A and B are shown apart, each in its own frame.
Chain A
Amino acid sequence: MLSRSKPLLPTIEVSERAKVLSLDTAKATWVRKSRGRPVRRRFFAFLFVAPTLLGLGLFVFFPAARVFYLSLTDYSGLGRPEWRGLDNYTYLANDGQAFWRVLQNTALLLLAVPLWIGVPFLVSLMLFDRPSGKYIRAVLFIPVMLPPVIAGGAFRMLLAEGGLLNESLSSVGLDVLALPWLSSERLVLLTVALIIGWAVLGIAVMFFTSALTSMSATYVEAAIVDGASWWQIVRYIYWPAVRTTRQFLSVLFTIAVVTSLFGWIYALTQGGPGVSSRTLDFSVYEAGIQTGRLGVGSALAVVGILLVVIVLTLRRVIDRGNAADWGR
């Protein structure tokens, strides 16, 4: 093999050398060729991806396809699905299972996404260049570690009509703030939005902090010397600088509204009062599992999938629009 007293590359004939090494002209060195013929190499490489693909195929893609089929049937779990064509969708369109209210709830919750991004951004600014920031961020991260059903249950206890929050507010004379957080049809979605904001604050702060600390301080220093105010610096330097983080969180949270609120709603409100906080995934559970109408549940499930696709496509369109505006 190679030894230091000899020249760096063994002195074998070039043709011999070329059998095992190829010349990387850019780096002016010899690089060992990958072993085996291309087809064998690609097959072997594919093996690394195979388990994931198999698992996804069997437990995600196949069921996703099947749910489209089931949505066109009447199915109770026992026996065979009976073909019904578009009946389930007609039923939903006629406000079966409070369909339109459910969509409205989803839309309203989506309005909260900017809040779930904006507030953590401001909080990150407060903490990122403070030495105590690290500890405060650790505390802020605690809700992230809690399973939704547990945190949801905790808030249900706290925010009940005779619960700790309202009792405490009353006892200091702030009766006017002791609102029916979870039992008012008009307030419940706001309450849910605030609680979820509470739960995701820690992650968003983490991402923003990472982006903020990796920025160079030169512009900010110059701006301060020029007498810029806090608001000006934030608006014209920091806000644009965290654009990728903002976009990432926007996609993440938007998808989460459609796909990940089940645990929260189950523990906090069960979709209530009435249907005023019922989300799409809770609807699937309610219609499908609770009432045994798996065909209708499947139709709702399909709507869920389509909603995610729509949201992701819209996001790409918006991103491309933004990129064009900035001349990239």
Chain B
Amino acid sequence: MLNRTLTTTGRRVQYFTIGVLVTSIIVPLAWVLRVALKPQDSHIANSTGLGGGMTTGNFAEVWSERGVKEALWSSVQIVSLGALVATLFGTLAGYGLARLSVPAKPLLLVLMVAGISVPVASITIPLFGLALDLGLVDSKMGVSLIYGSIFSAWTTLLLHSYMMSMPDEVFEAARTDGAGAWGTFRHVAAPMAMPAIITSFVLNFQFQWSELILGLVLLQDRDSRTVTVTIAQFTQQYRSIGPPTAAAMVIGAVPVFSLFLIAQRWMRADLLAGAIKG
């Protein structure tokens, strides 16, 4: 409807802008894929050429010889558990703060906000010290727990906001039927909040998969390194980024991508937007 008010120039500007934006997204990604499939000599000979043949050799090389297989597996282990922990803790806490008589609610909510305001880089050094003392360096479980804790704060705030906006009648009905706190959570709150819960899980997965600074510091062994740490190290090993690194980048992006695609059905964009009001 707004479009009726556009002039011809305005319309052209719009198409142009959208075109530029879409191109700016497709081209870099397609290029990375192209380079990943280029034989290394072709790339060295002509680093910006589109031709040069196709090979899956780079993928094979980084997978078996440069540690990407182990790194991918580490990432999957660490982040699956970490996202689960963050989502679980956050959902429970969000429910408690929204629907139960928790003492000192305002204070606790402020603590949650404080929790998301502390930069991860700022706590990296003490966490490294803590990990050294507790023997958690190179511990995948330990890192999962740390990730889960850090990211449970924003999850709490999201679920709290979402559950506050759910109709009170549902909870009252549950209470009249004799359900206690846990029962209401299990049978009413959690099922109804499923879009929010799934969205939190997917986003937690993305945040933790992408997390770099803690990973660089806490996971140094080749067997426990995450795939993002590995890719980061690859980018620093040579002056320019070549086909093997590009292949690693493709591999590293696939899991998060797939999760987003799979979870599309259950995620709702507007719920995030609605939660902002809270």
Contacts and interface: CB of A to CB of B under 8 A. Distances in A.
A49 B231 contact: no
A214 B273 CA distance: 11
Given A217-B1, A284-B121, A154 B249 contact: yes
A24 to B, nearest CB: 8
Interface string B175-208: 1111011000100000000000000000000100
A60 B153 contact: yes
A312 B96 contact: no
A228 B5 contact: yes
Given A45-B100, A210-B273, A248-B276, A198 B129 contact: no
B266 interface: no
Nearest to B115: A56
A49 B1 contact: no
Contacts of B122: 64, 67, 281, 284, 301-302, 304-305
Contact of B121 (A77, A294, A304): A304
Contacts of A241: none
Most buried by B among A34, A48, A160: A48
Interface string A24-49: 00000011101100100110111111
A160 B213 CA distance: 24
B251 to A, nearest CB: 10
A49 B107 CA distance: 12
Interface residues of A, number: 109
B146 interface: yes
A150 B149 contact: no
Interface stretch (B51-59, B61-69, B233-241): B233-241
A178 B181 CA distance: 63
Contact of B273 (A147, A206, A260): A206
A190 interface: no
B120 interface: yes
A93 interface: no
Please provide the 3 A-B residue pairs with the shortest distance between their CB atoms, ordered closest to farther.
Answer: A55-B149, A48-B96, A281-B121
Given A61-B115, A244-B277, A309-B117, 8 more contacts: A41-B100, A46-B103, A58-B149, A59-B146, A139-B25, A150-B253, A154-B28, A294-B129
